[in-house]
Amino acid sequence: MDSQASFKLLLIDDDEVDIMQFERALKKTGLIYNLHVCKNAQETLEVISKEVFDCIFLDYQLPGIDGLQLLKKIRDKDVLTPVAVLTSQGDEKVAVKMIKSGAFDYFAKSDITPDSIQKVVISGIRLWEVENQRKRAEEEINVNNYKLNAILESTTSIIYAVDKQLNLLSFNSTFKNSIQSRTNTDVKEGMNFAMINFKNSERENIVSSIDRSLQGEQFTQVEEFEVGGNAVYIETTYNPIYVANNEITGVAVYSQDITEKKKFEHDLLQARNDAIAAAKAKSDFLSNMSHEIRTPMNAILGLTELLLEENFTGGNLENLKSIKYSADNLLVIINDILDFSKIEAGKITFENINFDLRLRMAELKKTFDYRAKEKGLEFTVTVPENIPHYIKGDPYRLNQILFNLVGNAIKFTSKGFVEVKTSINESEESDKINLVFDIVDSGIGVPEHKQNKIFESFTQAYTDTTRKFGGTGLGLAITKNLTALQGGYINIKSKVGSGTTFTVEIPFEVGNADAIEKQDKTEKDLILDLSEIKILLVEDNLMNQFVAKQFFKKWNNEISIANNGLEAIEILAKDGSFDLVLMDLQMPELSGFEATEVIRAEHTKVKNRNIPIIALSADAFQETRRKVLEAGMNDFVTKPFKPEELYHKIVKYKPLRGNK
């Protein structure tokens, strides 16, 4: 301690002799000091509330008050200055009492010497410093605690720490409230976990997790509780608490209520599943609807075609042609919707057969020539010499793509031209070529910002398109998908007012001619007169029966009809002279599949169990074709049937007659 520092000292004494004696001794200590003397309690309390002293000397005997009472009053004023008591000789009991009440030292009045005073001042000041340090440390701890608390309380998560004996070291109010509501226990610091009224399973779970963490493991787990009948999910992390020497002294636990998150995840999954189910329902609906519509369409188209072959003239002929035109259009739309739902359901498949590209392109030209001429458009289709004649792939899907694009080009062009140009892009695979088709028109064009959009389903470039030109907005979506599914791509270049170019590139194999010639020949060789063939049509729909009858009449054939599978079996059991069965699939009583099974059964009552069966179905899915063949039927024709196709299929099975 610096003995040159000036000390502020207070002497509380009413005895003049004592005071003189004290001052004299103090002078001799060599301390630098400033001494203030108070002679009674009132004076003392006034002075100490104004000034701060380094050491106080208090006489025990004061007028009207004893030293003990005054000491209390001093301390009540929050004055913590060290107080030494002056006692009469031999009054040790008093001294002990005073020290118990907060005085730090005492000495007898008879012992007032420079030495004793110096000793008391110095030790008092030391004590004072220690006390101040302790106070500062305490304040610091308080501030830190306050900060820590602020952090602990700023979260809605549960935070607590326990020692090795599972005594609660500290916790935040979320923990306190959570325990209160879950277990009805009012937790306090220091409380042992055993005092909390957990359900047994819950306690076991937490205690075993804390034990795990006490072994040094830090881990996170999700715990499920039930609160008021509802599941509550808590994600909890257990952290071992280490002290300096790497010893584990306890565990800090951090828990978060993730019930909302879980619920959100669950809702999200549910929403996703709902969306998938909704998409499937939409796709199923579209597919079912278009099938349902195709059946009456079959009748309308068939009958119109038959009527057109009769000798109508003038207005009636025009009306009939309009019916045919509208029905054709309607069928295109229905087919589009069906294709679209097939693409969406991932059920579309592609043929891989040889075809003559130039023949297909000539057909394209022929189909659209009339429409182009009607609008006064120049329409050209070119296939340069360097393109192979025979291509292997799916000619029907290629047709569909080109028909869509050329149809659009003519639809959206009012003057000028439409041109289809064919070229080759070399492929990296040696046995493949990339065929490129440019469909160029001088029409209205597509604004830049719509050029990507029009490939989306149900999207048209202008809102008035449907009113002006008709259409569903499905064509390009289908075209793009059909192209992409064959490993190709489509893009558009267009300028409003000056025209549009769609470019389609699709990889194909180079085909071979032999297969095609063989195909053609078999069909040509087999053209026979249907009057020789005895056919049983199994069909429940009266309209379809009627249409079929009309067609077969044209081919000199009087077909027999069964209204369902059961009837068909009865007829075939009685009459063995039938050559062929045309079998609808969906029928009451016995479906086409079930009827076929009965016909083909080993001990069937049907006279000719090997009779050729051709399925008739509005469903064009590859899957249905597979099922049809698996069920033992020989072939498949889609409704509405194209008369030529049906004719050829029937003729194809005529030679089977000999197998009877």
What is the contact surface with ligand ADP in residues (CB under 6 A)?
Answer: 408-409, 412, 441, 443-446, 454, 460-462, 465, 471-477, 500
The CB-of-257 to ligand ADP minimum distance in angstroms stands at 51
* Nearest-angstrom CA–CA distance, 551 and 644: 11
Residue with Cβ nearer ligand ADP (441 or 505): 441
> Closer CB to ligand ADP, residue 145 or residue 452?
452
Nearer Cβ to ligand ADP, position 445 or 592?
A: 445
2, 292, 298, 357, 646 from 396: Cα distances, Å: 109, 23, 20, 11, 18
Closer Cβ to ligand ADP, 40 or 457, answer by number: 457
Instruction: State the DSSP string of 322-382.
Output: HHHHHHHHHHHHHHHHHHHHHHHTT------EEEEHHHHHHHHHHHHHHHHHHTT-EEEEE
* Tokens representing residue 582 in the block: 């045309």
User: For the CA atoms of the chain, what is the radius of gyration?
Assistant: 52
294 vs 411 by CB, closer to ligand ADP: 411
Q: Closest distance between ligand ADP and the C-beta of residue 281, in Å?
A: 24
**CB of 185 or CB of 451, closer to ligand ADP:** 451
Select 124 or 475, whichever has its Cβ closest to ligand ADP. Answer: 475
Give dist(CA 472, CA 477) in Å, integer: 10
Q: 3-state class of 100 per DSSP?
A: helix
DSSP string spanning 265-308? Answer: HHHHHHHHHHHHHHHHHHHHHHHHHHHHHHHHHHHHHHHHHHHH
Pairwise CA distance, residues 196 & 187, whole Å: 7
Residues 406, 365: Cα–Cα separation, whole Å:
10
| Shortest distance in whole angstroms from residue 472 CB to ligand ADP | 5
Pick the closer one to ligand ADP by CB: 258 or 332. 332
Q: Which is nearer to ligand ADP, 409 or 548 (CB)?
A: 409
Nearer to ligand ADP, 462 or 555 (CB): 462
* Cβ count near 314 (within 10 Å): 7
Listed in sequence order, the residues at least 6 apart from 603 whose beta carbon sits closer than 8 Å to its beta carbon are: none
Q: Are 161 and 250 in contact (CB under 8 A)?
A: yes
Map residue 424 onto helix, strand or coil: strand
Give just the sign of the alpha carbon dihedral 150, 153, 157, 162: positive
Q: How far is the CB of 372 from ligand ADP (least distance, A)?
A: 13
β pairing state of 248-257 and 219-227: unpaired
What is the C-alpha separation between 616 and 535, in angstroms, rounded?
Answer: 14
Calpha distance 273→279 (Å, rounded): 10
State the Cα–Cα distance between residues 242 and 168, nearest whole angstrom.
16
